[in-house]
């Protein structure tokens, strides 16, 4: 077992990563009006690459420009402007860094204010208490819509490969469409796409098999999967173990384990079922259990702020360590740890009573730093959560208006 995240790692497809630290996906909301990566997004990725991380996973890129997780997101379809995506991949590959594009479909996790499509396995709306009415009511997907989504994932993966990305990560966690199919709470279908786990996982399996067939063994194929939904009656660790075994058979090289959804934000360390997660590597226990039973490379993301924690993850047999939030304040955290191994990354805490608002403000603070990094500026030393949240909401409102025009035209 390696004792350091700075040891290289060879994946099962023969690709070598220079170290085991991965910048995990963070949706930046920085796309241009045509949903393409522009100058600032390339600047941000160049800085991360120079910062010493082994792999960069992009923020989620949508497979359908009319089904977006948020305004200002990137979409990659058959008719894409490939030059923009080539520049993005090249920036991220600086300094011998590998870059994998995360590809996603939001399913029912779509803001009502945005319009566009809100598809789901079943017509079951999100339950977010007093915040539920902010989300669209989904429509149960037809067979034709399911086939369309499969083709879109394959097309986006193939386009990413053509643009020079080293791989893709299919997002099947955090309550988005593929996670909605996996969970018996949101998937109440009685056909071949619902019911038993082998039916609920069929859509994910179809997608990864077809990407593997289309893009070949040399193109790294990853899946982000919940170790559990952390909701009573939802997708659980036993289900995750079985799905990882299926993914291994389907040619997947790396599985990133996370957890939760909008309804139960375990990826931020809070669960709806009140379970306590490992304080510094939320899903480590689950990841250890799964990694002992599979040949697929396992990665876990959530809560890592210290090198000692990252090293503990690899020493326990989990090969890759994902870091998201901390990389927004220290884009060069891996380089810093090489010379200052005791350095602790700090995300400014937001201690508001309303936990949902506090989590939103934290996300706003983080996104603000991403924009600054992309513009070549220094990150803020003491960001104001209230100011960041208001500025973010105003910017979202503007981006939503821009996106709605696209929906009308599209
Ligand atoms: C601003 C922000 C945007 C995020 N966007 C994504 C995303 O696009 N895809 C994804 O899989 N996870 C996303 N996440 C979740 C992270 O990848 C990660 O799982 C989570 O933040 C826990 O890791 P951390 O404690 O290192 O931040 C996002 C997190 C943040 C803070």
Q: Residue 147 sits in a domain of what CATH number?
A: 3.20.20.70
- Give the model's confidence band at 267: pLDDT under 50 very low, under 70 low, under 90 confident, else very high: confident
Ligand 1 centroid from CA 409, angstroms? 31
SS3 of 64, please?
coil
Q: Indicate which atom in ligand 1 lies nearest the CA of residue 322.
A: 26
Calculate helix-pair angle for 284-291, 237-249, nearest 10 degrees: 40
Percent of the chain with pLDDT over 70: 98
Task: Give the H or E element holding residue 327.
Answer: helix 326-329
pLDDT at 44 over 80: yes
Query: What is the C-alpha separation between 9 and 6, in angstroms, rounded?
Result: 9
Ligand 1 site-directed mutation target among 23, 25, 265, 326, most atoms within 8 Å of CB: 25
Residue corresponding to tokens 């660790």: 237
C-alpha of 213 from chain center: 23
Q: Does residue 4 lie in a domain region?
A: no
**What token pair was written down for 174?**
């955090």
Split into its structural domains, the chain has a count of: 1
Contact 78, 148 (CB under 8 A): no
**Among 192, 220, 217, which Cα is nearest to 206's?**
192
Who lines ligand 1 at CB under 6 A?
A: 24-27, 59-60, 102, 171, 174, 224, 258, 267, 301-304, 323-326, 363, 366-367
Average pLDDT rounded to a whole number, residues 4-26: 97
Ligand 1 centroid from CA 372, angstroms? 18
Ligand 1 site-directed mutation target among 109, 324, 328, most atoms within 8 Å of CB: 324
pLDDT at 278 over 90: no
pLDDT at 55 over 80: yes
pLDDT at 276 over 70: no
pLDDT at 294 over 80: yes
299-322 residue pLDDT tens: 999 999 999 999 999 999 999 999
How confident is the model at residue 1, as a pLDDT?
77
184-199 residue pLDDT tens: 999 999 999 999 999 9
Q: Identify the residue whose C-alpha is closest to ligand 1 atom 5.
A: 26
Average pLDDT rounded to a whole number, residues 141-167: 98
pLDDT at 408 over 90: no
pLDDT at 171 over 70: yes
How confident is the model at residue 254, as a pLDDT?
98
How confident is the model at residue 172, as a pLDDT?
97
Query: What is the C-alpha separation between 264 and 279, in angstroms, rounded?
Result: 17
225-259 residue pLDDT tens: 999 888 888 999 999 999 999 999 999 999 999 98
pLDDT at 329 over 70: yes
Average per-residue pLDDT for the chain = 94
pLDDT at 364 over 90: yes
pLDDT at 140 over 70: yes
375-405 residue pLDDT tens: 999 999 999 999 999 999 999 999 999 999 9
Contact 109, 176 (CB under 8 A): yes
Q: Does residue 133 lie in a domain region?
A: yes
pLDDT at 72 over 70: yes
Q: Indicate which atom in ligand 1 lies nearest the CA of residue 301.
A: 23
Q: How many CB atoms sit inside 10 A of residue 344's CB?
A: 11
- Give the model's confidence band at 130: pLDDT under 50 very low, under 70 low, under 90 confident, else very high: confident
How confident is the model at residue 229, as a pLDDT?
86
Q: How many CB atoms sit inside 10 A of residue 247's CB?
A: 26
78-102 residue pLDDT tens: 999 999 999 999 999 999 999 999 9
Ligand 1 centroid from CA 58, angstroms? 10
pLDDT at 277 over 80: no
Q: Identify the residue whose C-alpha is closest to ligand 1 atom 10.
A: 25
Query: What is the C-alpha separation between 126 and 1, in angstroms, rounded?
Result: 42
Domain, as residue range, for 389: 9-409
Strand locations in 44-138 (E): 55-57, 61-62, 74-75, 98-104, 119-120
Ligand 1 centroid from CA 324, angstroms? 6
Task: Give the H or E element holding residue 84.
Answer: helix 82-92
- Give the model's confidence band at 343: pLDDT under 50 very low, under 70 low, under 90 confident, else very high: very high
């Amino acid at each position: 077992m390696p004792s350091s995240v700075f040891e290289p790692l060879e994946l099962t497809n023969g690709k070598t990563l220079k170290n085991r630290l991965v910048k995990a996906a963070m949706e930046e909301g920085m796309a241009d009006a045509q949903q393409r990566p522009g100058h600032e997004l390339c600047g941000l990725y160049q800085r991360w690459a120079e910062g010493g991380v082994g792999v960069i996973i992009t923020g989620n890129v949508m497979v359908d420009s009319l089904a977006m997780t948020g305004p200002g997101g990137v979409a990659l379809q058959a008719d894409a402007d490939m030059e923009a995506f080539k520049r993005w991949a090249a920036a991220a590959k600086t300094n011998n860094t590998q870059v994998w594009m995360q590809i996603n479909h939001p399913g029912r996790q779509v803001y009502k204010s945005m319009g566009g499509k809100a598809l789901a396995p079943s017509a079951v709306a999100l339950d977010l208490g007093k915040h539920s009415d902010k989300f669209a009511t989904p429509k149960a997907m037809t067979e034709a819509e399911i086939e369309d989504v499969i083709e879109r994932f394959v097309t986006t993966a193939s386009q990413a490969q053509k643009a020079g990305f080293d791989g893709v990560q299919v997002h099947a966690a955090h309550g988005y469409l593929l996670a909605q199919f996996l969970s018996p709470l949101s998937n109440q279908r009685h056909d071949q796409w619902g019911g038993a786990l082998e039916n609920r996982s069929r859509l994910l399996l179809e997608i990864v098999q077809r990407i593997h067939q289309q893009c070949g063994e040399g193109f790294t194929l990853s899946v982000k999967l919940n170790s559990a939904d952390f909701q009573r009656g939802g997708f659980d660790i036993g289900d995750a173990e079985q799905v990882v075994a299926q993914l291994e058979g389907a040619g997947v090289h790396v599985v990133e384990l996370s957890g939760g959804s909008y309804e139960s934000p375990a990826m931020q360390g809070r669960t709806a079922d009140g379970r306590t997660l490992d304080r510094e590597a939320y899903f480590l226990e689950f990841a250890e259990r799964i990694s002992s039973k599979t040949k697929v490379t396992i990665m876990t993301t959530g809560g890592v702020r210290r090198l000692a924690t990252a090293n503990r993850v690899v020493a326990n047999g989990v090969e890759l360590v994902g870091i998201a939030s901390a990389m927004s304040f220290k884009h060069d955290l891996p380089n810093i740890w090489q010379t200052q191994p005791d350095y602790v990354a700090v995300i400014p805490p937001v201690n508001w009573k309303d936990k949902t608002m506090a989590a939103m403000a934290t996300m706003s603070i983080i996104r603000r730093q991403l924009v600054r990094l992309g513009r070549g500026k220094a990150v803020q030393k003491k960001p104001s959560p209230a100011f960041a949240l208001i500025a973010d909401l105003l910017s979202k409102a503007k981006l939503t208006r821009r996106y709605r025009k696209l929906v009308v035209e599209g």
